Structure 1
């Protein structure tokens, strides 16, 4: 079976997003930049080449080591990660060019109606320098932890759970990008922190890294140059960091990594109001979107045993529905 942890529908979805991006570049004032793309191309070619080699070794059956399919799956996963890393960020930025009005007043109002005091939380974090460092690192390490999670699932041999992991993270990311385009916001730090210089415990003002990008995308007099590499996330509502944290905990349910992933996720989600500039309602929305994605995906027939106590081994993937 050529594909172990991704499906043809997942790859078709990536291709569809690529087509949408290219059409958007053609139809808008945005211009595609290839700066920095070379590294991702090299990585994709490298992992793609190794994936083909592992596939050939597996098909010929001359080496029957259980490590072969795991290496094949790892190369497949890394190739997929390289591809989505250069198609989803541009989709995020291109959709934010749609001139929907900023929703900061609405989101802040929801926070206030729920009784949340964002400024109090921001100042509480600022008063704890050691906590600042921990939260900052947790926020920026999400992508690396996600890759580590994928790798751990692959080498555990739990193929069904690994495939579920790939599916649910990808589709949740796409949904967050599309919904986020409907609720653009300059985010909470920009709204509430009038003078960032007075918060000297932060090495640099948190939660405002996205503002220059928003200003460029929304100013019709400014030409937009978008490189697929190194783009910051612009989604405020719902919080994709929060959604990812919830997914990390759920995807490792009934495994030895559940508690470490849950602890990381709690710390990382706690960082999102400050370092992501999120309103608290963004966090609740991100969690709800993640749970909804898990529930909907887990209802598919071939995922009914995904959270079983025993891992689903390679032979169980002969089901053609997973192809």
Structure 2
């Protein structure tokens, strides 16, 4: 038996898988399945084991947590494949318009990189913050599941998935790569700033936009979206759903520097950041309305903690 939130996430995963299948049929790009198969098999087994535990009394904490832990990697892998299968791009990039907005706001990514290069310890700290997003979500999923915050857990899952899908839909219509695909800070500054998204990374994105790729390998999948920033979506996701728990203040303090970390290390336009916050808010509202009709499980009742 499934919770309402789990049913909705399975529907989203199935829809993304269908889109992937269609893109495979109509395009020429192929997937190196041996590299992706373990992700689906292992996480599918985790979900199956979590569901099997629902036949046992007093196993709700582990069951709910394991199903959630298995669902998100499968969804993320499928959507990453959909992104990769969408190359080459058939619509013009909108980075020129985003650069114009940066200019209005007085923001210059190259100057930001060169400024950060003067403070190597700060640069490394911001890099560590930037790469912490997935780890934060893993910790939060574990915490919410093991403390039986069922409503929060499924609201988190659904918001994250809807936010990612909405990001893809926006990007496929109005694609953007960010400043790193166009600008080249001084190589010494790039090295001193420990920059994560570099001009060479941006060059790979531009190559994909024009030529696509013949075969998708797991180790070659790149983050592609500039506007809106999904990294900011994940940061707000972690802080918002940690409210009312002991994780809230640590997550809030950790994610405040996520704003400059994403702008500089993520190679983003400044406008990408508030756009990510707005997209999160919309996804969160839609997810809440989808879940509102049925908070309780269809399995033996477990009290959902708000």
Q: Is structure 2 residue 288 aligned with structure 1 residue 298?
A: yes
Report the equivalent of 2:170: 179
Q: Of residues 246, 256, 262 in structure 1, which corresponds to 2:246?
A: 256
Q: Using a 3 Å threshold, how does the CA distance of structure 1 residues 206 and 300 change in structure 2: closer, same or farther?
A: closer
Report the equivalent of 2:14: 15
Show CA shifts across 1:74-123 (max 9, x none).
Answer: 11012202311321101222234332112221111011112333333222
Displacement, 1:36? 1.9
Report the equivalent of 1:75: 66
Q: Using a 3 Å threshold, how does the CA distance of structure 1 residues 215 and 301 change in structure 2: closer, same or farther?
A: closer
> Contact 2:65/2:145 (CA < 8 Å) preserved in 1?
yes
Of the structure 1 ranges 145-154 and 181-190, higher mean CA displacement relative to structure 2 is found in 181-190
Question: 2-side partners of 1:301 and 1:86: how far apart?
Answer: 24
Question: 2-side partners of 1:301 and 1:87: how far apart?
Answer: 23
* Helix, strand or coil at the partner of 1:102: coil
Displacement, 1:37? 1.7
Backbone CA RMSD of aligned residues: 2.7
After TM superposition, the structure 1 = structure 2 runs for residues 1-323 of structure 1, keeping only pairs within 5 Å, are 2-4=1-3, 6-57=5-56, 61=57, 65=58, 68-203=59-194, 206-208=197-199, 210-211=201-202, 213-220=204-211, 223-227=213-217, 231-299=221-289, 302=292, 314-315=302-303
Question: 2-side partners of 1:76 and 1:219: how far apart?
Answer: 39
Question: 2-side partners of 1:195 and 1:237: how far apart?
Answer: 25
> Contact 1:33/1:225 (CA < 8 Å) preserved in 2?
yes
Q: Using a 3 Å threshold, how does the CA distance of structure 1 residues 244 and 30 change in structure 2: closer, same or farther?
A: same
> Contact 1:10/1:167 (CA < 8 Å) preserved in 2?
yes
Question: 1-side partners of 2:251 and 2:293: how far apart?
Answer: 21
- Which consecutive unaligned segments of at least 5 residues does structure 1 have? 306-312, 318-323
Question: 2-side partners of 1:303 and 1:210: how far apart?
Answer: 44
Displacement, 1:41? 3.3
> Contact 1:5/1:76 (CA < 8 Å) preserved in 2?
no
> Contact 2:47/2:68 (CA < 8 Å) preserved in 1?
no
- Which consecutive unaligned segments of at least 5 residues does structure 2 have? 296-300
Displacement, 1:191? 2.6
Question: 1-side partners of 2:185 and 2:293: how far apart?
Answer: 49
> Contact 2:98/2:271 (CA < 8 Å) preserved in 1?
yes
Question: 2-side partners of 1:289 and 1:25: how far apart?
Answer: 28
Of the structure 1 ranges 87-96 and 23-32, higher mean CA displacement relative to structure 2 is found in 87-96
> Contact 1:164/1:303 (CA < 8 Å) preserved in 2?
no
